[in-house]
């Protein structure tokens, strides 16, 4: 791929070792995300109750002009609004206020999870430059204009996509995401398995990943692009982290670093869920 850039990611909240990453839930969606429920402060209180030292809010932002017709909204104080600067500022201000209120008890970090695509990469870059979030996750939620992680479109995705052509194209997009230099981590790197993996069979996915992932991992390493270990799949039929244990081993063996762990919580009780299993997966791995 052309125009690859080393990941610049200003590591304001870089986790320095294995123990550090389990002190922070770095992927949390308060009710600003329209598929989430619970005010940000409820998540903070639950994190404190569970002994988590840092919580990073990562409200969904999707700037894809193709898909914005389906999801152009952000929820503010219980009401849905079309995404606009004033509502992003309201989100930022609420979290900055929570930082002050809970200082000394938990660190509150504010950020976003961005849906990524080459055709709207510049829109994401402009958004990040304008609002300067403390943390950014880049995730692939759609390919060829079709959502792959949404229950609304899972049947369509299953009809249209075929594993042999989809998986290499998907991972090429992951490399483009990394090469953009916009994001701090790659989110749920094999998140396509949520619906498509179950449809094709996980064993088939792993056969193809064994072929493609080593090269993808080498490119991520060259770009200094880390990934998150996302525990959301453990709550679903998949019963697996993202990346799966098999994919995780390939990525780690080829030098990709796990920088964060995230529950991908969409309600307060999900904060920190699956961290015990995630820690077991990473046992014995040394981080820079």
* Domain of residue 200, CATH code: 3.20.20.140
> For residue 2, is it within any domain?
no
Where the chain has pLDDT below 50, the residues are 1-12, 15-16, 286-288
Establish whether the linkage from the previous residue to 243 is cis, with ω within 30° of 0.
yes
Q: Which of 143, 180, 175, 136 minimizes the C-alpha distance to 162?
A: 143
In a domain, 130, yes or no: yes
| Strand 135-139 versus strand 185-186 pairing type | parallel
- 19 domain residue, yes or no: no
Task: Identify the pLDDT of residue 284.
Answer: 56
Residue 100, both tokens: 């002050």
Model pLDDT, residue 14 = 52
* Cβ neighbour number for residue 69 with a 10 Å cutoff: 8
Backbone angles phi, psi at 187, to 5 degrees: -85, 145
Neighbours of 82 (CB within 10 A): 9
In a domain, 88, yes or no: yes
In a domain, 10, yes or no: no
Do 16 and 138 meet the contact criterion of CB atoms below 8 Å apart?
no
**Token pair recorded at residue 54:** 């840092």
pTM: predicted TM-score of the whole model, two decimal places: 0.93
Q: 264 lies in a domain?
A: yes
Q: Is residue 12 part of a domain?
A: no
Total structural domains within the chain: 1
Look at residue 279 in the predicted model and tell me its pLDDT: 93
Q: For position 2, what pLDDT does the model report?
A: 42
Distance (Å, whole) CA 137 – CA 111: 8
pLDDT of residue 9: 44
**Residue 188, in any domain of the structure:** yes
User: What pLDDT is stored for residue 19 in this prediction?
Assistant: 56
Task: Determine contact, residues 246/214, Cβ cutoff 8 Å.
Answer: no
Q: Give the pLDDT confidence score for residue 143 in this predicted structure.
A: 97
Q: Provide Rg for the chain, Cα atoms.
A: 18
Gap between the Cα atoms of 97 and 189, Å rounded: 32
The count of other CB atoms within 10 Å of the CB of residue 246 is: 17
- Quote the domain boundaries for residue 269: 29-282
């Amino acid at each position: 791929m052309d125009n690859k850039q080393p990941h610049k990611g200003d590591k304001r909240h870089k986790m320095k070792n294995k123990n550090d990453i389990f002190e922070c839930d770095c992927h949390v969606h308060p009710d600003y995300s329209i598929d989430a429920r619970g005010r940000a402060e409820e998540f903070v209180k639950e994190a404190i109750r569970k002994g988590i030292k840092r919580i990073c809010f990562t409200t969904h932002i999707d700037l894809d002009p193709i898909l914005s017709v389906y999801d152009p909204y952000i929820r503010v104080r219980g009401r849905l609004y079309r995404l606009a600067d004033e509502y992003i500022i309201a989100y930022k201000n609420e979290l900055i206020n929570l930082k002050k209120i809970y200082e000394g008890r938990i660190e509150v970090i504010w950020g976003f999870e961005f849906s990524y695509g080459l055709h709207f990469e510049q829109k994401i870059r402009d958004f990040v430059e304008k609002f300067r979030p403390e943390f950014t996750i880049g995730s692939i939620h759609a390919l060829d204009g079709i959502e792959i992680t949404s229950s609304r479109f899972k049947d369509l995705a299953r009809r249209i996509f075929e594993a042999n052509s989809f998986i290499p194209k998907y991972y090429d997009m992951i490399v483009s995401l990394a090469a953009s230099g916009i994001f701090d981590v790659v989110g749920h790197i094999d998140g396509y398995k949520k619906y498509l993996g179950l449809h094709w069979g996980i064993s088939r996915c792993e056969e193809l990943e064994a072929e493609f992932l080593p090269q993808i991992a080498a490119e991520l390493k060259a770009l200094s692009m880390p990934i998150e270990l996302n525990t959301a799949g453990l709550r679903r039929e998949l019963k697996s982290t993202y990346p799966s244990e098999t994919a995780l081993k390939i990525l780690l063996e080829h030098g990709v670093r796990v920088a964060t762990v995230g529950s991908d919580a969409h309600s307060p009780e999900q904060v920190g869920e699956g961290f015990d299993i995630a820690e077991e997966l990473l046992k014995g791995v040394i981080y820079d």
